[in-house]
């Protein structure tokens, strides 16, 4: 039986994959390789999340980051747990986090 959380070379709308059970919507345990990933969503990487070789389709990369002070809670964010994005084209996805948490992502875009 194929793994329903592993996607290769597919068009994916993240909102279609959300686990809406529990206190807040989340994406957990997904692997995306060579996919076209679409929002609109704001995600917050919480544990075990990687973006490797991805192309974020945004005019100004700073427009996709939402900085939050440590300990801040916000409604409407999609939590990411144990998700890997490799060689994906990502469009309409913003990323929230602390300045320290966002620093590696920013560095990877420069």
Q: How far apart are CA 54 and CA 52, in angstroms?
A: 5
Q: Which two tokens stand for residue 55?
A: 């192309």
Residue ranges covered by each domain of the chain: 6-109
Give me the mean pLDDT over the 4-23 stretch.
90
Tell the residue number behind the tokens 């986090």, with chain if given. Answer: 97
| Bridge partner residues of 33 (DSSP) | 8, 86
- 1 pLDDT band, cuts 50/70/90, is very low
SS3 category, 69: coil
Return the structure tokens found at 91. Answer: 């469009």
- Check residue 11 and give its pLDDT: 98
The pLDDT mean for the chain works out to 91
pLDDT, one tens digit per residue, over 35-64 is 999 999 999 999 999 999 999 999 998 999
């Amino acid at each position: 039986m194929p793994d329903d959380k592993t996607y290769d070379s597919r068009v994916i709308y993240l909102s279609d994959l959300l686990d809406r059970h529990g206190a807040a919507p989340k994406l957990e345990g997904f692997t995306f390789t060579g996919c076209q990933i679409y929002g609109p969503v704001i995600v917050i990487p919480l544990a075990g999340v990687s973006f490797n070789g991805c192309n974020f389709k945004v005019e100004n990369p700073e427009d996709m980051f939402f900085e939050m002070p440590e300990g801040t809670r916000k409604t409407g964010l999609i939590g990411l747990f144990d998700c890997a994005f490799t060689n994906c084209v990502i469009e309409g996805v913003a990323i929230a986090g602390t300045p320290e948490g966002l620093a590696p992502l920013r560095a990877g875009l420069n």
